[in-house]
Amino acid sequence: MDINKLTHSLASEIGFDKCSILECKKLDLQASKLESWIAHGYGADMEFLKRNQDKRHDPRLLVHDAQTIIVSMVSYNSPQTESNIARYARFPDYHYTIRDMLFRLKTELQHHLEIKSARAFCDSAPVMERSWAAKGGLGWIGKNAMLINQTLGSFTLIGSLIIDARIEPDEITSLHPDRCGNCNRCISACPTAAIMPDRTINANRCLAYHTIENRGEIPEEIAHKIGHTAFGCDICQNVCPWNNRAKICTNKNFLPQEPLLHIDLGDLTTMTDEQFAHRYRQSSLLRTGRNLLMRNLKKQNE
């Protein structure tokens, strides 16, 4: 039995749009670039990025005797509508949904492989998922630092399953061609000039960082540019031509749902922390919290 083809088939049946199978090994070039980015202070106060650098370099340190990493991707692209919440947060927290899908993949593979050690990751551990996806031919890193797939665009979620069993890696003879060309729409559209020439983001200037991760005061220079956003920012993705022609997501798990289409300062002001936690218990908004969301919304009126 061809386990490689079976894995791709299972990933598709479970709901992933794309999948790549790679040998688990070091990512020296990408890791050194991340280290330089952090050293220059572009990560702002996201101290978690400084931890576990050895594991970011080498995912084999995350799973005993790791041999294979299965990188899977799913679209959450939906028609652009007016909202003050980033698209990825308009449905239940994707971290749990993607990990559940990856665990299902592991369970299915165990009918055909002996897997003793395995871990599933989705944007919550020291795994350089965009880099692995690019290495696996699933897209290229665009000028806005997002992974762009020619069919799916950049409104995608990436998860990885690391296992101690060997699956024949995909035959990838070259990286996905860079198709940004001379287009600079993302750079021109960014209201705070957060996008740097080397295809990385200066978090100190990024609205997504300040409205989600920043626990302190938002600098006035940035706050004046906050516009209508309360959580996250999609501007550099909304203007990308590849997203204008991308496939629309049909998976109900990643489609906008109430009450995550819009968040209102009046509602937040009148509810208690307990009511907030109950309403948004399955949402990415929960981690940022009621007080910071109110801070963001108040900045719109200053």
The answer to whether residues 62 and 125 touch, using CB atoms and an 8 Å cutoff, is: yes
Which pair of structure tokens corresponds to residue 103? 């665990």
Query: CA 193 to CA 186: how far, in whole Å?
Result: 10
Catalytic (active site) residue 2: no
DSSP lists the bridge partners of residue 140 as 148
User: Catalytic residue among 123, 198, 264, 273, which?
Assistant: 123
Closest C-alpha to 179, from 206, 216, 141? 141
The answer to whether residues 170 and 71 touch, using CB atoms and an 8 Å cutoff, is: no
Query: CA 239 to CA 175: how far, in whole Å?
Result: 24
The answer to whether residues 158 and 122 touch, using CB atoms and an 8 Å cutoff, is: yes
**Phi, psi (rounded to 5 degrees) for 6:** -60, -40
Which pair of structure tokens corresponds to residue 288? 């940022």
Catalytic annotation, residues: 123
